[in-house]
Structure 1
Amino acid sequence: MSSDERSHMLNAPFQTGATLASLPADAQAWLASWQQDYLFYQIDANELLTFIAPSVKGILGYDPEEMLGRSYREFLDLDHPLHAQLQDLSDRLLGGGARAMRRCVARCRDGRLAFLALRERPLLDGDGQRIGTEVMAHDETGRVNAEFSLRQSERKYRRLVEGLRGGYVIYSHNVDGVITYVSPSVRDVLGMPADKVIGLNWRDLVGEENYGRAAADRVREQTQAGKLLHQLVVEIRHADGAPRLFEIQERPVFGFDGSHLAMEGIAKDVTEATRNAQELQALKEDLERRVARRTTELSRINAELRRSEARYRNVVETQEEFITRWRPDGTRTFANEAYCRYFDTPREKLLGRSFYELIHDDDRDEFRAAVEGLTPQAPSTTYVQRVYLPDGSIGYIQFTDRAFFDSAGNPIEYQSVGRDVTELRQADERLREHENLLTHVSRLATMGEMVAGIAHEIHQPLHAARTFAEAARRNLQQGTDQGVAAAQECCQEIEGAINRTAAIIRRLRDFTKSRPVHLEHLDATEVVAESIELTAFEARRARVRQRFEFESQLPWVAGDRVQLQQIFVNLMLNAYDAMAQQPVDSRTLVITAAASNNGVEIAFRDSGEGVSPGVRDRLFDAFFTTKKDGMGIGLALCKSIAAAHRAQLVYEPNDPAPGSTFRITLPHPHKGEP
């Protein structure tokens, strides 16, 4: 088939009176195979499809048979929302023509949209009346989609360029350097509107004295030499005159004939980044210098530390004190030679093992309490601990422990420094035994001084008992009921006298008995009252008036009853002696008991001659006395007993004079005391 025949057949449907049905069979077959992008169809006056080419199967996915007899509007939408855009494409792409064309949207069987360009011609009958329309449709789906994508890309690019921020500017200039486009972001970056920049030569912005001008001048020459990407940094002055640095990437734009048409590029303001980089580089160099100095200093310190550690280890190993380090679970991490010698155990058998089994069973709870009480604010404690020695004996060690804490305040290690105080402890126990013996001897001596008074105190109730016994005998001899009743009364008096005698003897026996120290809760005023009873005869013999001023409901104190009585008796006897040369009517001893911040304060205020200033500092010294026949141990023992009770015994001259006051302050019991 010739080309003329093909052209005739393509245009035949648009010739007056011609129908596709009248074409030869071979022409219809040719049209079905050749026109893959074309779709021919006919509609009658009722807009029903009367013919449609087989190519509809490939374009819309329908079989021709299922479309015939149906309205073409079921498949073609001339009023689709995209119609205006399609018509605009038709005008732009086709540029008009002799025959008007329009576009429409077609619905494919699978739901996709197809875009068709339509060329229409009316079908007339023999009388020239319109009986339908014949249409040739060209499938432009691919082209339209590409155009839509291009438009969308252009819109995105325009939004990107117009919304450009962050110090970026997009531009283009011709080969002579005249700027033909610049993005609106130039106002934010250089302080100049885009319309004022367009038309300038880039050399107007990058002056000859500006940084990077020489590199910018070489771009055109490098482009002609074949370089396609140029990267450089140039200096451009802001509208306010301040210099700004820009990092530029440029590429050439060529025409279809290969000629160099323009340059387009993007510039980024790197002024702050460069300044920051320079500052960072300066800081880096300074840091490197500091690190070098610190490294040198650290090397020196490490060398000194190694020497110091060697000296420390030498000192630790040659120390006589026991030094060990241990973890919170008691595992030893270090032990010096003295520690190993004391426990007669090689170091390798001590390290990595707990020392708890060496602590005396009765001391373990106290040790744990002491260690658990350590804090970063109070990291050390000192205590005496009993330990089991390899030979089965018990040793006493005075340890000073120090805890080391992490940043959270948790203990991570402890160091203990100890010394053997076994002999010191034994000597202390012997000293206490001697002190107790001396105290006992002193009490006996005191009783010796009061023996006449004691005899008198005992003689009085015994004499009364003998008198009442004689009276009872006489009353019984009368043999009368009245005599028996009187004898019974005498017996009651005898019983009372015997009880008083027994009480005196019991107090004397308790006072003079040799016994270990026994701490208990005591009512201080009760102990004072018992001491007053012991010295009652001496007070009467010295013709001293005694006045008592005791506060009620005083707190308990902890002490040994007999030893406190010894202090009080000694102070009262001294007061009687001090007032012996005073007129009888002025001999007064005032005994007070009152609560204080620390416990109970008991004071003995006499009206004697007082103590001369020259001997006050030696008043409590052992074997110092102002009495002719004194031994000088009374007040010294009182001071020692008071110290053992954690009490304070002080002397004060009366103000106004004369006389002296001795005050003893007994503390409250500590936690855990009886």
Structure 2
Amino acid sequence: MKQEQADGNSEHERLRDECAALREECRALREAAEKDRAARLEAEKLGKSLSEAFASSPEALAVVDAAGRVLLSNPAAERLLGQELARTGQWPFALPVSGQDQEIEVLTPLGGLVVAEVRAWPIRWLEEDALLVSLRDVSESHRMVQALREVREELEARVQERTRELRRANEQLLEEIAERVLTQEELSHSESRYRAILEDQSELICRYLPDGRLSYVNEAYVRYYGKSRADLMDRNFIPDIPAEDLGTVLPLISGLSKEWPVVEFEHRIRMEDGSIRWQRWTHRAIFGQTGELVEYQAVGRDVTKRKQAEDQAQEQRAFLRLIIDSLPNPIFVKDRRGSYVLVNKAMATLYGQSPDEMIGRVGADFNPDGEEIERFRREDADVLDRGTILYIPQKTITDSTGKKRWYTKTKVPLVERDLVLGVAVDVTDLLEAEMERLRLEKRMRQTQKMQALGTLAGGIAHDFNNMIYAILGFTDLSLRRAEDGKLRDYLEQIKSAGLRASELVRQILTFSRQTDQGRTKMRVSLLCKEITKMLTPTLPANVEVELKIETDRDTILGDPIQIHQVLLNLCTNSVHAMRERGGYMEIVLRDGPDGSPPACGEEAQDGCIELLVSDTGVGMDQATMERIFDPFFTTKAQGEGTGMGLSVVHGIVEAHGGTIRVESQPGHGSTFLVRLPRLRAEEECGSPDDSDIPRGCERILFVDDENLLAQMAGEMLAHLGYAVTSMTSAAEALELFKTAPDSFDLVITDQTMPGMTGAEFARAVMAVRPGMPVILITGFSEKLSEEEAWRMGIKSFLLKPVSESQLARAIREAL
């Protein structure tokens, strides 16, 4: 019994010891599990960090074994190569050699071709030898930033997957411990690889806290700033950014969130030596599990050279812009649709716009002329389709106000961009100058014709005047002896016809004469009657003319030739206005307003006379009336007028101290009103009484190469009581005079004679007998004027035909 009890006690103690040992073993297992859990959490944290780095790496990364199988790849590699390498399971290129960088061409999924730099590092992956391969797009290295992010995210995903496997293996403690050991080794390798990747990058990589203090920098960052890693760590980089850039940078960084964690920007940085450089950065905000901001990770590069190149390009563009804007010629570039891509200042000014306002718009937005716009479109299409330069001479361009100017254009195709470059040269002034030259040439030719006509008229006038002089002289002689009343009527008709012929010759000479005859006292009424008589036979049958003389005080101091031109021009213009429909023209000469209005100027000594020329023609609008006195302005068809008539009229009237104005309405005719200063009553010229012809008994030597005229003059002077010696040779007459110079009291000579002119004969006579009175008579002479005759000492200068009374008075004045 005792033995059994002793055995029972012994068994109980053994069981108690075994229980104690089991409790100790359980405690040890719990401690080991706690340590393993702590290690697993640490592994999870480290794995998450490595996974984020692997997934976010901007470089394409892949783990490849010796057989070319892809064990792991990041998203950057899939984007670059266009396939998920992990699923295909095979490396698509030749295996790279560790330590030997190489470049390969990769066709992207979008069809683009990029050059990638391939690097390889030997690693241990799950207890196997493998290669960590990176492909870096050297053409756009900033993509590596994104690749780094994706590497990190991939590593985090791997660690999380491994962690879930560890949780499922918690049932067996030994397996959990073994898994922890393997995980620690893998994470250690991953961290080493991650840091190696970051340190080997040429981009600047850093991490910094929300307050701007640096928590990590890679080797490239250290080299760039020329400082040690220790000097850079915990250093705030924000003060190195110029204040004007911080206003942009800080709001971008502070605006990052979990939804929008990434931002890119450029800014300047102040280096240690004081120089300024440009950097481009990609910043990512990193948040904790509870959403709080932990830190920032940034990848950047120096872009100073690029910015300098951009600044230089901008300066070049500004310089080129200054050049084309300084050119006075319009310059433009248009696309195929006609939209302006570039215009210079001259082009924009043409359309009343600024250069910026014209970009992207078409010509129809500024040019109201649709036909011009269509012509421009055809020109542009022709240049682009043919690919050749088009020269367009002298075409109009209408500005925004509707005004047209003439331009010569050159359009050049910019084939590479399917654009048209155009340069226009304003030739309006040149064309107007050329038109002016042509008008002047035409006027010169007309002047030359008039000069030729004057020469011809002068030659004809001399012979005509001699014949008319003879006709009128013999008619007067015949009238003295005619007793039959019917015969006297016939002789009066002959005399009247002779006088009209004489007047016609004088009008021809007046019309063709090119020089002013000087101002004399003249009666405007006589001129009006003369013009009316001259115009009446030439008027169309459907045009009537009426002359109204409403004043008997119409004497002015003027140039008869010029006043004749004024009245003739106004009348011919009125006739022209009525040539199609006919009508009525009225010429009125009347007293001007009382009080010598200022319109007549200071030369108005006794008020004014008014000369009105009115018609019932087509009339004029206001715009035409404003320009009718401009030189070369005309409403007549080509070849019907030079546009100088009214301009000359205006100048003549003003030169005489007068004024001219016009009143007109379309369809109601026109009225021209000319005011001229009138002479005082005592200064007006009176008409001599032809019935009181002075006589004499002196001895006269009469010389004319026309025997008929010499005979007629001899009888006429003899009738007046003079003793006349008539001769037809100036040389013989001179010899006679030399033999007996005191035998004559007066010499009357013709101007145009063979062998010796009248002026030469007169000089010879006055040389023999100084002070000898000489009267010079001529049918026409261009070489000798009345003024020149007076300077020679000639007492009187008469134009044929000379009436008996006119000659008688000249003789008495000379004697």
Which bin holds the TM-score, normalised by the shorter protein? under 0.3
Structure with larger RCO (C-alpha < 8 A, sep 6+): 2
TM-score, scaled to structure 2 = 0.23
TM-score, scaled to structure 1 = 0.27
